[in-house]
Structure 1
């Protein structure tokens, strides 16, 4: 089965829906919990619990969406109609979540967050699966997911520039938190339908063998014995813990420890700009070192250097900005590498089952990261309440010190675990090429059998 390498302009259009989706990633963990805990009056423990419960709801929705995406194609293919269907769900739920009218109840936040996550799941699983099926080559998969990850990282600086512009031109000290959250919601509502339209009308879907009918036991057995799958999903869980804990605590650490509250959008902008710039470097390293070795290096980098934040002097934007830019060079590495590796794991599963279950596999990947993120947000907010942190008032130095220790300890442990899990990963480029050879021979044999029957 021969595939033409897609040109960069098509991959840019394919990846573009990840830009508004970025506003439902980092900004949700950075701005939304604090907004509802503070200005909306729900409190730290309640918001932490709501975000944990809503994310754990994905334990149900992610595998279901992966199954549906694999098995119910349309005349557009397997993926694009699901992406289009997610757009109105995301537009409505974004309006309700990001533009609330006070007062709100915990039930309001929980209900609309669940709807938001359903639409998010529909789009992200279908989008990642579509990308995995665009090319079977080991390194080309990294290139494709590099475009998608770069777009998703780029979406964060774009949103932050918008937030900063709103803060400088429209906000007052009393409205700054609400204006920040509102502007993110409008960004999603306006940009998502435009960029999805560009993607689905300009990027093809490949002809992929549709799954047959397997019993539950036949579906689960290969998953349970698939050691590479277990490693990647556990590593992605750890990445979710690390990223969400950093994002959830970032606003507080900048305001109370670094004394740089007014520079929050700028610091995030520097961090994610570095991530976009260095995505091609990560793709290149994955080609030279292999994807799993690049993941090990990324985990070691994050675990080794996160403690540098202890050395940021109070009120020094230059040191803080330089430190955030340095740490940001690795911002996109893990997501890019996991998603490319998961496409290779799908090859192994197809050899064992005869099924191409891309959607199911990517649902597992999103599920583990979301679960890690949910647990991290819940645990972080519970820890903050336990150590006596007050998000709306003054905090004594000893409480701020405890905040800093939590900020460093969780990602350090999580990223050390990632390096351990990905060390000695069994699928490298040589192994993947061997698997593709087996699959190509199988495709030719099946095509020959069909041709013989027709004659």
Structure 2
């Protein structure tokens, strides 16, 4: 990659994923509550639909990853799939917030599966493109760190939109508020691609899907890293999804609902340059520090009822700052350990585990609400309040701690470059 071009490549490369962060944040962190409180769908049903959509991704993600690797065109293979994702993402996203008079359960399930499929067409090729544009761990940290900042900017946009959506109680009001921004997000995906030249394929991939998939499964580092990512995604998604219930029903401060996710994302974003800097020196040690910051942060939230209400702000900041390490280091390490020519399949497993974590999180929240007797828009029982509190604090803390233990024994020696000081 010519050095005089690299300064522009991160800006161009990172921009489309801003829209992905916006879409994914609202679906992961508000759709569950919207579906139960406004669409009046059963919490257990909504959680189950999220889980079923991930079962589909077990096939869908690796297939799209393999297809992006296998295309015989020397250039443009990733960009074509990203371009395809934009209109499908916009359409399916809007459809999720609409409620037809009949068969609304089928409508919701169908469009949620379409949405996550389109999200795969954006995320897997985009991650793979980043691996091809970077040449060593230092450039990967910078590129994927910038990518995370861009995605988090989209998440912040989603959090700002959340402040508009939360007071709304009618489906028509919600869909009207979302339409214009959704169309803009689709253009944000498309326009930068006209200015990005995709590297020519260096290695011809002519293996079957089964052989390519076996390559990933045979990679012990990837199996271990996928588990770490899965645990972190469950922890973060459970915390963020439950934050709306926690602030409204446990703390009695509904207006703080969007503050926790916003602080989480802002703190993660502003700390990413710090994690990039220290990752060049000792990635493993600083990743562990980030994990323990997340664990301590949710531990503080467990006692928030006995502290001033504003204590949730520094606790959220601590969790988000720690999460910045995982958001930066995980994709960079995936790019480092992936087999040359199989980046798409490797990153498809990574995105599948992330989306699986989101779905399992929604399933957990939905089941806990159902089992503890949660009633939408009502005064909650003690069992429901305890369930919300445990979901918001204990479950994420356990996931973050288990991921930290796995990072401690993980081998960070990469395959694409000479071993670095990791």
Gaps of 5+ in 1: 351-355, 437-455
Rg bigger for which structure?
A: 1
1:216-235 alignment, distance < 5 Å: 218-235=211-228
Gaps of 5+ in 2: none
Residue by residue, what CA displacement relative to the aligned partner does 1:288-326 show, whole Å, maximum 9, x if unpaired? Answer: 212x33333222222232111123248955322233223
Deviates more, 1:214-223 or 1:155-164: 214-223
1:272-283 alignment, distance < 5 Å: 272-283=265-276
| CA deviation after TM superposition for structure 1 residue 280, in Å | 0.7
Pair 1:336–1:6, CA change in 2 (3 A): farther
> What is the aligned partner in structure 1 of residue 410 from structure 2?
425
> What is the aligned partner in structure 1 of residue 418 from structure 2?
434
| CA deviation after TM superposition for structure 1 residue 180, in Å | 5.3
Counterpart CA distance in 1 for 2:62 and 2:181 is 29
**Preserved CA contact (<8 Å) 1:342 1:362:** yes
> What is the aligned partner in structure 2 of residue 211 from structure 1?
204
Deviates more, 1:395-404 or 1:310-319: 310-319
> What is the aligned partner in structure 1 of residue 375 from structure 2?
390
1:34-433 alignment, distance < 5 Å: 34-72=33-71, 74=73, 76-101=75-100, 105-164=104-163, 174-175=169-170, 179=173, 183-184=177-178, 186-193=180-187, 195-215=188-208, 218-290=211-283, 292-313=284-305, 318-346=310-338, 349-350=339-340, 356-428=341-413, 433=417
Residue by residue, what CA displacement relative to the aligned partner does 1:151-196 show, whole Å, maximum 9, x if unpaired? Answer: 11111222222343566xxx66x44x87457534542332222x22
| CA deviation after TM superposition for structure 1 residue 13, in Å | 2.4
| CA deviation after TM superposition for structure 1 residue 54, in Å | 1.3
Number of equivalences: 420
Counterpart CA distance in 2 for 1:318 and 1:179 is 31
Pair 1:128–1:16, CA change in 2 (3 A): same
Deviates more, 1:15-24 or 1:297-306: 297-306
Pair 1:184–1:287, CA change in 2 (3 A): farther
Counterpart CA distance in 2 for 1:411 and 1:217 is 35
Counterpart CA distance in 2 for 1:411 and 1:64 is 31
| CA deviation after TM superposition for structure 1 residue 69, in Å | 0.7
Deviant stretches of 4+, over 6 Å: none
Counterpart CA distance in 2 for 1:108 and 1:217 is 33
Residue by residue, what CA displacement relative to the aligned partner does 1:196-255 show, whole Å, maximum 9, x if unpaired? Answer: 233212222222324332256643443333111111111111122112211221110110
**Preserved CA contact (<8 Å) 2:230 2:356:** yes
